[in-house]
Amino acid sequence: MSDDNHDNASPSPASGGDFIREIIDEDLASGKHSGTVTRFPPEPNGYLHIGHAKSICLNFGIAGEYGGRCHLRLDDTNPAKEDQEYVDSIQEDVRWLGFDWGEHCYFSSDYFDQLHDWAVHLINTGKAYVDDQTPEEIRKNRGNLTEPGVESPFRERSPEENLAQFEKMRAGEFADGEKVLRAKIDMAHANLNLRDPVLYRVLHASHHRTGDKWCIYPMYDFTHGQSDAIEHITHSLCTLEFENHRPLYDWFLDNLPVPSRPRQIEFARLKLNYTVISKRKLLTLVEEGHVNGWDDPRMPTLSGLRRRGYPAEAIRDFCATIGITKFNSTNDIALLENAVREVLNRDATRRMAVIDPLKVVITNYPEDQVEEMDAVNHPGDESAGIRKVPFCRELYIEREDFFEAPPKKFFRLAPGREVRFRAAYWLKCNEVIKDDAGQITELRCTYDPETRGGKNPPDGRKVKGTIHWVSARHAIDAEVRLYDRLFDHQNPDSRKRNYLDHLNPDSLDVRQDCKLEPALADAAPGEPIQFERLGYFCVDADSTPDAPVFNRTVALRDSWSRRQQ
């Protein structure tokens, strides 16, 4: 049995279904491990995005299935790009997605002293040396896939000289980039990662946790595997770009006195069309003002998706649907949007809102009368009950629900045509009022009092159309933001053009002076709402009681695919 210590005494078997779980099953059955410990190790240099969600769900999901634990580890080895803001956002996003690391939140900086001691160990055993070459020289002399690298002229320094140079690096006696510590492996190795990789670099930068204690910082490759070993991680799950780094991961474990032996396993990362998930590119979008911050609802960041109204459950469902493979592929963003619709269709309260209002005056309705109509809160959930919706002489409908010269199969309101107003009455359009420019400003209609609640009239006549509405006297004025895909090309990362050239100019449509039914005054942040016939919406962070703002999470149907045909 393994000597690793775990929170669980008897791990529960997982349901299987992918190669990672098969490996874990084999390790548990053979006694290699007595439990399962995974980790999610983001670098706090930006906000988490949808790609991270797959790793979060996998690592925390496996730990939960096997009765183990998953650590949250912040890989904070580059103080020049990291910030406490990112640490806080990462923790918030993981919790929002539905996972909890308990007491197991760690930082790579927790291990800086140990990593330094292990660097000294490599120096003393003749397996690391201080190199005086410039970064450009190191890069040039590394070679390529067809040519071996060139050994550094400083490679054969004695352990004593290397140790003295390394301690001077730590003491701050050298400028940034002046010297590095490298592993002494094989400059002719077929795997470029084993051609004397850099372990430490000089970097005079204050760290968000350790302050100015250090002016040398370990590289990711020298930190990752050793941190896993310190934390007794059993299975270190990484995306495929780290596959070529695995021999180096193992080399460090083989050549250092680590307390445990984790195993790195690679899987395909999550990639979506019409999306970029490079942190560098997302940062550019933010810094150049193409979006309004990391949590802009058009961004693929988890904070942006949350602000847009995406349910965490839908993201988890999507990650489960696409599964775990060893082959990179691009997933259709429509799959994610459909997962969102499925959850919201079940959970969203129904309300009426008009985002492009056209006034309707009911000429045969009493001017001072107000009725309260019964409207269901959710047609698929009787327990959601009903609400009272005020109805009066003047209403608002969507401008697109009226057509003066209706085409075939247009079943909404038109001159001389009668339609059902949801949960209210049947109305017939009798007159169209226009301004001097010929724009329609008002419709004058009559109602049938025998159709209250939308029921069929006694004479048996029928209508084909039902539209939503809002009482003009009781409407709440609001701003509604309609979001579309941030990029108008399915592969904005294509090398043929810069990804910024593919920004969708119609990704945000802000509608002012929208009319909402009074019940929406009580909408809470995070509450899923369906604006009937329009889509799913939520209250935005910019909203105030006096100036409400709603974001469209997703349309009721995938209109984008039809537009691209």
Q: What distance in Å separates the CA atoms of residue 440 and residue 399, rounded to the nearest whole number? A: 9
Q: Can you give the three-state secondary structure of 75-132, one letter per residue?
A: CCCCCCCCCHHHHHHHHHHHHHCCCCCCCCEEEHHHHHHHHHHHHHHHHHCCCEEEEC
Strand duo 418-421 + 180-183: pairing: unpaired
Mark whether 29 and 155 lie in a shared domain.
yes
Mark whether 316 and 425 lie in a shared domain.
no
Mark whether 132 and 224 lie in a shared domain.
yes
Mark whether 430 and 303 lie in a shared domain.
no
Mark whether 521 and 454 lie in a shared domain.
no
In a domain, 400, yes or no: yes
Check: CB of residue 379 under 8 Å from CB of residue 405: no
With CA atoms as reference, report the closest residue to 227 among 356, 71, 49, 399: 71
In a domain, 260, yes or no: yes
Mark whether 305 and 384 lie in a shared domain.
no
With CA atoms as reference, report the closest residue to 112 among 209, 5, 15: 209
CATH number at residue 409: 2.40.240.10
In a domain, 155, yes or no: yes
Mark whether 40 and 149 lie in a shared domain.
yes
Q: What distance in Å separates the CA atoms of residue 331 and residue 89, rounded to the nearest whole number? A: 26
Contacts of residue 504, defined as CB under 8 A and 6 or more positions apart, other chains included, come to 484, 485, 486, 487, 488
Mark whether 209 and 141 lie in a shared domain.
yes
Q: How many CA atoms lie within 13 A of 416 on its CB side?
A: 3
pLDDT (0 to 100) of residue 494: 79
Mark whether 284 and 373 lie in a shared domain.
no
CATH number at residue 125: 3.40.50.620
In tens digits, what is the pLDDT along the chain, a chain of 565 residues?
344 444 433 333 334 479 999 999 999 999 999 999 999 999 999 999 999 999 999 999 999 999 999 999 999 999 999 999 999 999 999 999 999 999 999 999 999 999 999 999 999 999 999 999 999 999 999 999 999 999 999 999 999 999 999 999 999 999 999 999 999 999 999 999 999 999 999 999 999 999 999 999 999 999 999 999 999 999 999 999 999 999 999 999 999 999 999 999 999 999 999 999 999 999 999 999 999 999 999 999 999 999 999 999 999 999 999 999 999 899 999 999 999 999 999 999 999 999 999 999 999 999 999 999 999 999 999 999 999 999 999 999 999 999 999 999 999 999 999 999 999 999 999 999 999 999 999 999 999 999 999 999 999 999 999 999 999 999 999 999 999 999 999 999 876 789 999 999 999 999 999 999 999 999 999 899 999 999 999 999 999 999 999 999 999 987 655 555 4
**Which of 446, 468, 490 is where one domain is finished?**
468
Q: How many separate domains does the chain show?
A: 3
Query: Which residues have a catalytic role annotated?
Result: 43, 269, 279
Phi-psi region of 403 (alpha: psi -120 to 50; beta: other; left: phi over 0): beta
**Which of 230, 246, 267 is where one domain is finished?**
267
Mark whether 400 and 448 lie in a shared domain.
yes
Which residues span the domain enclosing 524? 279-350+478-564
In the block, residue with structure tokens 């098969």:
22
Mark whether 56 and 169 lie in a shared domain.
yes
In a domain, 176, yes or no: yes
Mark whether 237 and 153 lie in a shared domain.
yes
In a domain, 313, yes or no: yes
Q: What distance in Å separates the CA atoms of residue 330 and residue 325, rounded to the nearest whole number? A: 12
**Which of 444, 468, 492 is where one domain is finished?**
468
In a domain, 473, yes or no: no
In a domain, 3, yes or no: no
In a domain, 191, yes or no: yes
